[in-house]
A and B are shown apart, each in its own frame.
Chain A
Amino acid sequence: MAATATLKALVKTPVKRLRRAFVPEYQDLLAQVGDLQGRLGPLQDLPAEVHRLRERLDDAQARIRELEDGLHEARRLNLRIAELTDVVTEVVLPLHDRDIDPSVFAGLPDDTR
């Protein structure tokens, strides 16, 4: 072990010199790597965040489909009202007006006063 440590100490200094000569920006890069690792830390949660957002998107798409269905149902009510109004005025009333006793109207309760 002692021999290995001695060897490392002997090699370390020349290697540092060589590195300084050929890659002078090494220390700066090393510092930047550390800085970037620090900044990337929060991004490690990214897959979980993407997963959470995907779930929200799926939920929103399902809700949009439900809203579109509801909107369609609401729009269809317009036609329903028109059809029923048409049937009452053009079919029901003409068929029954001969049977209507006008005095019955007098007995119909008012809903407001």
Chain B
Amino acid sequence: MARPTGTTEEHDLLGNLTLDDTGLAFSAEAGDEDRVLDLLLDGRRIWSFRVGDAPPCDGDPGRRGLAWPRSLVPFLHGTADFALRPVHGGADTVEATGRFGTASGRVRFVDPHGVQLIVNKWGNLGHALADYDTGMVDRLLDNLDEVRAVIAKHSDVDVYVTGGTLLGPYRDGRVMPNDDDADLAYLSRHSHPVDVVLEAFRLGRALVAEGMTVIRLSAGHVQLHFEHEGLADGYVDVFSGWIDDGWWYQVFPVRQRVRREQLVPVDTIDVQGRPEPTCREPEVMLDAIYGPGWATPDPAFRFQLPPATGARMYGWLSDQNMDRETWQDHYRYGAPTAPAPGSRPSDYARWVAGRIPQDGPVLDLGAGRGDDTLWFAGRGHRVDALDYVDTGMAGALRTAEACGLPVRFRVLNLNDVRRVLVAGAEIAARREPVTVFARGLLGSLVDVARPRLWRLLAMVLRTGGQAHLDVPRESWKPEPGTGEPLHRAVPLDVLAAEMAPFGLRVDETHEAEEPHDDTPWGTGPRVLPTTRMVITWQRRPR
């Protein structure tokens, strides 16, 4: 198949780049709003945006300003050479040197292992394939093939490459260097969302059974994570797809009138020298995912999800990934000066420790970096530590193993009721009173996750024990979906009313001033007014 080529246009008069701690500003011609610019740090692309993303500033219609991406800000300490480079040609790359904060060294935008970072199309930290070692793409495609093989072994779905793994090879003849993952999708033979989801659950289970690290982002999207020499090594996305009554759905942006024979039986496409399956008409898929402009390279591309598509996908498949990446990045990159795990228990943990049975088991929900987990364990409590992400626990896990502490760290996603029921059943089956400790959890949960938390508490407190949960009395980030984790006060009467049908009762409340020095909200060390609740489960009168 002939590959289309991207367009190149000549522009000029991009100029006068200035930098400060809050963002960058530059001059651009009127009418250049759709022009895509790469932001280079010391000559390396780290982000892309459209001129139009930067609103006019300084009262000058030719001058535009843009705040630094939120995820880049924590790294801006020292001196750095930045440049803006037009993606589609033009000789007017502009450069400037910036000094940020008071640090004297060079700005380093790298992960803790020295691998260079980028800001991805979601505004989060990521890695570009081009910034890894030369073997990375081969390893990623090996992993993709392995995932494909597992899916083929356990189901009759048709699997093919999609997203960037289709776009790059089809349009450019190579994997896109700015991409950060490999993408697979499959076409189910089912047409009803219930059957499609059940199949997706089965496939997730099969991938786990084959020893893979599987993260579920929605009922129709899993992410497979891999390591190489002990370090994270790119990931493979798997998206569910199905056709119902002439509508083709593929997570998450596709809702299109497509005939089955336009997708299957699969064809093959050359991906870095290896044949990979593609749908029968790749341009149909590319158009459905990226729109009619897919043939023109656009590193600043952002998905424009039609409401009719988004509402269906969210209703049928939900979102089990809310705020996960920002929490993950916070623990992975956010606080290089954080104390060693377990060295500094919270005020709340100390307060709770004085009120619970010595040696009794503790369930630490939302354990974060595991400081309180290790401290409880060091006092002789057997602790189950659960958190949404595993990046925070990594250090504490090593400490626990080295010290022989009785701690078990696990990931629990409160957005996934199935995982909640399994965890609750397992802990309840021990038939011993347990102390649940959840510091800073309630204020960060979206509304739909709270009933799952109540369900979990109702299960594990059935044999006695009590739950200690605090809730903030002021909100640091009350709006969901801002790119920063949610943080908000929730009225006690609302919580009590929600809990009651689960047999949970708030027995005590205590107001406190809780110091926080490791938050993802850019607050710095700060004292948060909270209400500490003591909750028990009450058997319903028969």
- Complex Cα spacing A71 to B316, Å: 11
Within 8 A of A (CB), among B396-442: 417-418, 421-422, 425
The reply to whether B315 and A91 form a contact with Cβ atoms under 8 Å apart is: no
A85 on interface, CB distance cutoff 8 Å: yes
Neighbouring A residues of B318 by C-beta, 8 Å:
76, 79
Within 8 A of A (CB), among B484-519: none
Q: Choose one: A74, A81, A87, A95; the contact of B418 (CB below 8 Å).
A: A87
Neighbouring B residues of A81 by C-beta, 8 Å:
194
Given the interface pairs A85-B194, A85-B198, A87-B418, the reply to whether A79 lies near B317 with Cβ below 8 Å is yes
Within 8 A of B (CB), among A56-113: 68, 71-72, 74-76, 78-79, 81-83, 85-87, 90-91, 95
Q: Choose one: B193, B197, B316, B422; the contact of A91 (CB below 8 Å).
A: B422
Neighbouring B residues of A79 by C-beta, 8 Å:
193, 197, 219, 316-318
- Complex Cα spacing A87 to B219, Å: 14
Grouping DSSP codes into helix (H, G, I), strand (E, B) and loop, the B interface class, with mixed when no group exceeds half, is helix
In the complex, which of the residues B312, B314, B418, B422 has the most CB atoms of chain A within 10 Å of its own CB atom? B418
Taking the closest CB of chain B, its distance from the CB of A38, in whole angstroms, is 48
- Complex Cα spacing A42 to B286, Å: 56
The reply to whether B315 and A83 form a contact with Cβ atoms under 8 Å apart is: no
Taking the closest CB of chain B, its distance from the CB of A61, in whole angstroms, is 15
Taking the closest CB of chain B, its distance from the CB of A18, in whole angstroms, is 58
Taking the closest CB of chain B, its distance from the CB of A79, in whole angstroms, is 6
Chain B: which residue is nearest A78 at the CB level? B193
Neighbouring B residues of A95 by C-beta, 8 Å:
425
The reply to whether A82 and B198 form a contact with Cβ atoms under 8 Å apart is: yes
Taking the closest CB of chain A, its distance from the CB of B429, in whole angstroms, is 9
- Complex Cα spacing A9 to B174, Å: 99
Chain A proximity mask over B189-200: 1 for CB below 8 Å, otherwise 0: 000111001100
Taking the closest CB of chain B, its distance from the CB of A3, in whole angstroms, is 71
B70 on interface, CB distance cutoff 8 Å: no
- Complex Cα spacing A11 to B14, Å: 77
Taking the closest CB of chain A, its distance from the CB of B306, in whole angstroms, is 14
- Complex Cα spacing A95 to B421, Å: 13
Neighbouring A residues of B197 by C-beta, 8 Å:
78-79, 82-83
- Complex Cα spacing A68 to B421, Å: 30
Neighbouring B residues of A78 by C-beta, 8 Å:
192-194, 197, 315-316
Neighbouring B residues of A82 by C-beta, 8 Å:
193-194, 197-198, 201, 219
Taking the closest CB of chain B, its distance from the CB of A6, in whole angstroms, is 71
**What is the number of contacts between chain A and chain B, taking CB atoms within 8 Å?**
53
Total residues of chain A contacting the partner, CB 8 A: 17
Given the interface pairs A91-B422, A91-B425, A95-B425, the reply to whether A75 lies near B194 with Cβ below 8 Å is no
Neighbouring A residues of B312 by C-beta, 8 Å:
75
Neighbouring A residues of B201 by C-beta, 8 Å:
82, 86, 90
The reply to whether A71 and B315 form a contact with Cβ atoms under 8 Å apart is: yes
- Complex Cα spacing A76 to B197, Å: 12
The reply to whether B194 and A91 form a contact with Cβ atoms under 8 Å apart is: no
Q: Choose one: A72, A86, A90; the contact of B311 (CB below 8 Å).
A: A72
Neighbouring A residues of B425 by C-beta, 8 Å:
91, 95
The reply to whether A87 and B421 form a contact with Cβ atoms under 8 Å apart is: yes
- Complex Cα spacing A82 to B197, Å: 6
The reply to whether A86 and B194 form a contact with Cβ atoms under 8 Å apart is: no
- Complex Cα spacing A78 to B201, Å: 14
- Complex Cα spacing A14 to B334, Å: 96
Taking the closest CB of chain B, its distance from the CB of A76, in whole angstroms, is 6
B205 on interface, CB distance cutoff 8 Å: yes
The reply to whether B315 and A86 form a contact with Cβ atoms under 8 Å apart is: no
- Complex Cα spacing A71 to B311, Å: 9
Neighbouring A residues of B315 by C-beta, 8 Å:
71-72, 74-76, 78
Within 8 A of B (CB), among A29-69: 68
The reply to whether B205 and A90 form a contact with Cβ atoms under 8 Å apart is: yes
Neighbouring B residues of A71 by C-beta, 8 Å:
311, 315
- Complex Cα spacing A98 to B439, Å: 38
Chain A proximity mask over B457-498: 1 for CB below 8 Å, otherwise 0: 000000000000000000000000000000000000000000
Chain A proximity mask over B295-331: 1 for CB below 8 Å, otherwise 0: 0000000000000000110111110000000000000
Neighbouring B residues of A85 by C-beta, 8 Å:
194, 198
Neighbouring A residues of B422 by C-beta, 8 Å:
87, 91
Taking the closest CB of chain B, its distance from the CB of A88, in whole angstroms, is 10
- Complex Cα spacing A78 to B242, Å: 15
A sample of 21 inter-chain contacts (CB < 8 A) reads A68-B311, A72-B311, A72-B314, A75-B193, A75-B312, A76-B318, A78-B192, A78-B193, A78-B194, A78-B197, A79-B193, A79-B197, A79-B316, A81-B194, A83-B197, A83-B417, A86-B198, A86-B418, A87-B417, A87-B418, A91-B422
9 additional A-B pairs beyond A79-B317, A85-B194, beta carbons within 8 Å, are A74-B315, A75-B311, A75-B315, A79-B197, A79-B318, A83-B197, A83-B418, A85-B198, A91-B421
